[in-house]
Amino acid sequence: MILVAGTLIAKLISAAFKIPLQHYIGNTCMGIFNSAYQYYTIMFVIATAGVPVALSKLVSEANALGRSQEVKRIAKLAGITFFSFGALCSVALFFGADLIAKLSNNPMAIQAIRAISPAVFFVAVVAVVRGYFQGMSNMIPTALSQIIEASGKVVLGLVFAYFAGVKGFSDPIKAAFAIFGVTVGEILAAVTMLFYAASATKKSQANNLNDHCRSYKELFRVLLLTVIPVTLTSSVTSLTTLIDTGMLVRRLQEVGYTLEQSNALYGVYTGQAFTMFNFPQTLITALATAVLPAMAGAYAQQNHTMAAKNMGSAMRIAMLIALPACVGYIVLAHPIINLLFAEDASGLVDKNLGGSLLMVLSLAIPCVALVGLTNAILQAIGQMKIPVITMLIGGMCKIGLNYFLVGNPKIHIYGAPVGTLACYTLIATLNLMFLRKYIKLPKIGKLFIRPFTACIGMGAAATIIYRLLADSLGNIAVLPAICAAAVVYAVLLVALNALEKDDMLMLPAGKSLVKLLRL
């Protein structure tokens, strides 16, 4: 829940960046910004994606067995390895910007790619520190670094974008200035994490109950065997998104749109619809991050009952977030987008496009939640290859659908969310089929049926309140509609007995909530 709180705060801060940024620089520049960000994403995934997961797994296992000296050795080895690799990836991204932009047929993104390239190294620093403390079941550094990253991005990104606008720079240069805020945010987070780690190391006391400590060579082998499958799993998603980035802009041009129009359409999809779509996912990702060391520690001690209990609680909490987000976006997508984002002044895109794309994307939210959790659980119990295979199958499905659907002039950008929905539905189904062979899955009633029933009542309440107030309040009516929906949803969850006592005890002030609800 510390991670959920930190992620929520960071996401709210990030919204304070992307929403006003879109108002200020427009959809075409946002398309350039998001294109460069996706190229950066694949590089930092290659450099660091498996690091927090692998470190948290290895550290939690060693810690559970009382091997404090091995914990220190793992952290030192990871720092040397991944700091170096992160620096190499930063250099490759900077000098490869021309080639990347050329291959994606988007030369407007070159400056922005170079502006964000140094961030890869600093992400590597943050990833190592996060992984170590997550393995020690200390989620504060991860939450803290997320907030610092987001704050730096907001303040400096908007300042840089404002400066570029005042100077009258072109869209590519404005996007480069804006995205440089991400780089500075990562620098601030890295410095903070290093200070935190140094302070925590001085205060820590060894608890070496087991003198056994593997050699650096053996730990390096185990570390790579853990990092590589996790990185491959994450890389499939990022690589698919990267291919999408180049493909979408290219395919839109092939069906008759100009480069500027293609960037504008892509900017609406990624800057508006996908921004809102990702909001609930970040909270669920935090749950997946937290459940992995807990699952790994339980398995290291052969406590399969505790592992199943942790998994069940994580899945139920994830669905309590994902299902209402899905239904809420379906019934309120258009007013949410219209309230938060500026209408395209250039006239290059339809004003209702963002809401329509979000409605389709929202259907994928529960499946994305299950994919994130099941991937983490499979990795925690040692089934590293399964997520790689299922993510690869889903990624191929997404790329194929996007190519044909976006290339259809009657469908164009609407093909992208359809591909996303099909991709994650397939992956979630495959993951659950594999997972049930290794661990008992939670009952479907409390996992899906009861929360979804509550969501139907919630959606009806949101629709009624919005329609009653829309004529007098306009798009602002969405705010009281969301508040009313939240109250109705909470009441229905209790009435339908959709909450588990153990799940509530995981929450802040859980004991008080259990007493209040008499669970």
Sign of the Cα pseudo-torsion (340, 245, 111, 126, in order): positive
Task: Judge whether residue 445 has pLDDT over 70.
Answer: no
Q: How far, in Å, CA of 57 to CA of 55, rounded? A: 5
Closest CA to 498 of 447, 427, 425: 447
Q: How high is the pLDDT of residue 283? A: 67
CA distances to 246, 359, 485 from 489, in Å:
40, 20, 6
How far apart CA 292 and CA 19 sit, in angstroms, is 32
Q: What is the pTM assigned to this prediction?
A: 0.66
Provide the H-helix boundaries in 96-109: 97-103
* Distance (Å, whole) CA 179 – CA 167: 17
Confidence grade of residue 458 (pLDDT, cut at 50, 70, 90)? very high
Measure the CA–CA gap between 409 and 370, rounded to whole angstroms.
Answer: 33
Q: What angle do CA 62, 66, 68 make, to 5 degrees?
A: 70
Q: What is the pLDDT of residue 504?
A: 60
User: Residue 291 pLDDT more than 80?
Assistant: no
pLDDT per residue as tens digits for the range 324-375 = 999 999 999 999 888 887 776 666 667 788 889 999 999 999 998 888 888 8
Give the DSSP per-residue string, 181-230: HHHHHHHHHHHHHHHHHHHHHHH-----S------HHHHHHHHHHHHHHH
Q: How far is CA 207 from CA 57, 197, 419, 470, in A?
A: 18, 18, 50, 61
Q: What pLDDT is attached to residue 427? A: 92
**According to the model, what pLDDT value does residue 462 have?**
93
Instruction: State yes or no: pLDDT of 463 exceeds 90.
Output: yes
List pLDDT tens digits, range 172-229: 888 888 888 888 888 888 888 888 888 776 665 545 555 667 777 777 787 777 777 7
Percent of the chain with pLDDT over 70: 79
Residues 6 or more apart whose Cβ sits within 8 Å of residue 382: 299
Measured CA to CA, the distance from residue 318 to residue 419 in angstroms comes to 23
Which sequence spans correspond to the domains of the chain? 2-203+216-442, 444-519
Task: Please give the average per-residue pLDDT across 391-399, as a whole number.
Answer: 88
Mind listing the pLDDT tens digit for each residue in 293-318? 666 666 666 666 776 777 777 788 78
CB-hemisphere CA count at 13 Å for 2? 14
Give the distance from CA 280 to its chain's centroid: 9
